[in-house]
Amino acid sequence: MKSERFEELLSSCRTSLERFVYYRIPDRADAEDLLSQVYLRVFEKRDCLSDEAHFKPWVLQIARNLCHDYFRERFRCREIEWQPELENAMSMNRYGRLAGSNVRETLDELDDSDRRLLMLYYFRQMPLCDIAQVLGVPVGTVKSRLFTARGAFKRHHLGEMNSETGAREMKKLPEIMPDYTIVPTDQRPFNVRWEEIMGWLIVPRLGEKLNWALYDWPERQMTLRMKLEVTGKARVHGIEGVRIMTVEHDLGADPVAGIKTTEREFIAQLTDSHCRYLAESHLEEDVRVLNTFLDGDDFMPNWGFGKDNQGNEVNLSAKGLIKRDGDEFTIGGLNQVIDVIGRFRVEILGKVYDTIGVMDVESYDEGVATEQFLDKHGRTVLWRRFNRDDWHVKDGKLWSQRLPENQRYAINGQTYVHWYDCISDYIL
């Protein structure tokens, strides 16, 4: 292959290649080193490719193989270190901490091979084929050992699931937004691991289910109801994630047409440091549309987030990027930011929650700010949206004129108006 043509082909898929590697390798420096190896390997083997039409998948396969080598070498000779947040991941479900759970003690009771396999599969989220390469055994052997390891963990930790826990069902969300109070406290904000996928409140982990609803103000009437469920594992361009099926019921649809129902599917990934979308799929008329993280402008505006689309940060702590004084907020030197803004006592439906407030200013959409109140389990108790006064104004009527009774915030001197709230059956 001529060098000019090689450079042209490589340039055409460079963005997809870099995005692929950055998704697979969590450490930035390691990812850059591995990219250099990919480019070198591609150059050395450029004459092995007989059909230029297969150039991009050929390059991605080389990158995939080198990523496998990276993980195999990384885990070959060292024990996986225990991280405190992993205990929460295994001992928490959507209803809170399991009674009497102590995951670390349970794992310590298992033999080394079972413990290591469970950590690789559940917490490193490594595909079975990658684990097989790390352990130097066939994939079928990994499946068999994983089945045995799960059984060992269950015997040591869970015992027989009682009927009350097993039969617990989701409760129905109220049609009218319940009263609530939000009171700031003088206590220092706590750090929390926030594993919910941004904007959809569900944790991308097997077994998770969630219902949530939106309520417009000042009517406080439910206008949209969402049902979500993690239905299984999935892989996008070689990257392991989980499938999230959603059913949206738009209650504010045309009264003649009735309630509008939309089904959508996500593939999302939760890592030690970030939570991110890998793909999104929906129907447009009778056509199934699929967008993945390699699709650039077709994916990023709606589903991409963070540098190199790494996703939202899950280990939250106050950074001091947003200063609050009552209903006035100041952001220094940044236009798009997410930060912890304080600690709050939230009372809703007769329950009191100790929460941190997380404010998101225009990280997703220009002119949109949200505040999200998370409990110590990293789950959303209450989510509120505010529109900048001139956001998507088409008829010349500002949001402060449309919704004169609604609460207002001043963010860097600009007015933002409360539009709607969101709660889930996590708080029921």
Q: Could you count the other beta carbons within 10 Å of the beta carbon of residue 305?
A: 21
Name residue 309's amino acid: N
Evaluate if residue 10 carries a pLDDT over 60.
yes
pLDDT digits (tens, 9 = 90+) for 71-87: 766 655 444 444 444 44
Range name among 51-60, 93-102, 276-285, 370-379 with the lowest pLDDT average: 93-102
Q: Which are the contacts of 142, defined by CB distance < 8 A and separation ≥ 6? A: 117, 128, 131, 132, 135
Range name among 276-280, 281-285, 405-409 with the lowest pLDDT average: 281-285
Evaluate if residue 88 carries a pLDDT over 50.
no
Q: For residue 171, what pLDDT band results from cuts at 50, 70 and 90?
A: low
- Cβ 295 vs Cβ 279: under 8 Å: no
pLDDT digits (tens, 9 = 90+) for 294-351: 887 778 777 888 777 788 889 999 999 999 999 999 997 666 789 999 999 999 999 9
Looking at per-residue confidence, does 128 or 102 come out higher? 128
pLDDT of residue 196: 95
Range name among 128-137, 151-160, 195-204, 394-403 with the lowest pLDDT average: 151-160
Evaluate if residue 129 carries a pLDDT over 50.
yes
pTM metric for this prediction: 0.66
Evaluate if residue 169 carries a pLDDT over 70.
no
pLDDT digits (tens, 9 = 90+) for 229-250: 999 999 998 888 999 999 998 8
Looking at per-residue confidence, does 389 or 237 come out higher? 389
Q: Which are the contacts of 65, defined by CB distance < 8 A and separation ≥ 6? A: none
Characterize the bridge pairing of strands 337-348 and 368-374.
unpaired
Mean pLDDT along residues 108-131 = 75
pLDDT of residue 165: 38
Which residues pair with residue 123 across a beta bridge? Answer: none
- Cβ 197 vs Cβ 277: under 8 Å: yes
Q: For residue 208, what pLDDT band results from cuts at 50, 70 and 90?
A: very high
- Cα distance between residue 267 and residue 233, in whole Å: 9
pLDDT of residue 250: 87
Q: Could you count the other beta carbons within 10 Å of the beta carbon of residue 427?
A: 19
pLDDT of residue 159: 47
Looking at per-residue confidence, does 24 or 97 come out higher? 24
Domains and CATH numbers, the chain: 3-76 (1.10.1740.10), 84-163 (1.10.10.10), 171-194+314-428 (no CATH), 195-311 (no CATH)
Q: Token pair of 152, please? A: 């060992």
Percentage of the chain modeled with pLDDT above 70:
83
pLDDT of residue 85: 42
pLDDT of residue 307: 73
Looking at per-residue confidence, does 104 or 141 come out higher? 141
Evaluate if residue 167 carries a pLDDT over 70.
no
Looking at per-residue confidence, does 410 or 6 come out higher? 410
pLDDT of residue 90: 45
- Cα distance between residue 235 and residue 225, in whole Å: 28
Percentage of the chain modeled with pLDDT above 90:
42
Cβ-count burial 263-283 (b if 16+ within 10 Å, e if not): ebbbbbbbbeebbbbbbbebe
pLDDT of residue 287: 86
Average per-residue pLDDT for the chain: 82
Q: Radius of gyration over alpha carbons of the chain, in Å? A: 24
- Cα distance between residue 261 and residue 251, in whole Å: 9
Q: For residue 124, what pLDDT band results from cuts at 50, 70 and 90?
A: low
Question: Which H, E and C letters describe the chain, residue by residue?
Answer: CCHHHHHHHHHHCHHHHHHHHHHHCCCHHHHHHHHHHHHHHHHHCHHHCCCHHHHHHHHHHHHHHHHHHHHHHHHHCCCCCCCHHHHHHHHEECCEECCCCCHHHHHHHCCHHHHHHHHHHHHCCCCHHHHHHHHCCCHHHHHHHHHHHHHHHHHHHHCCCCHHHHCCCCCCCCCECCCEEEEECCCCCCCEECCCCCCCCCCCCCCCEEEEEEEECCCCEEEEEEEEEEEEEEEECCEEEEEEEEEEEECCCCCCCCCEEEEEEEEEEECCCEEEEEEEEEEECCEEEEEECCCHHHCHHHHCCCHHHCCEECEECCCCCEEEECCEEEECCCCCEEEEEEEEEEEECCEEEEEEEEEEECCCCCCEEEEEEECCCCCEEEEEEEEECCCCCCCCCCHHHHCCCCCEEEECCEEEEEEEEEEEHHHC
Mean pLDDT along residues 40-47 = 88
Task: Please report where in the chains the tokens 């299984």 appear, as a residue.
Answer: 232
pLDDT of residue 225: 93
Name residue 209's amino acid: K
- Cα distance between residue 70 and residue 65, in whole Å: 9
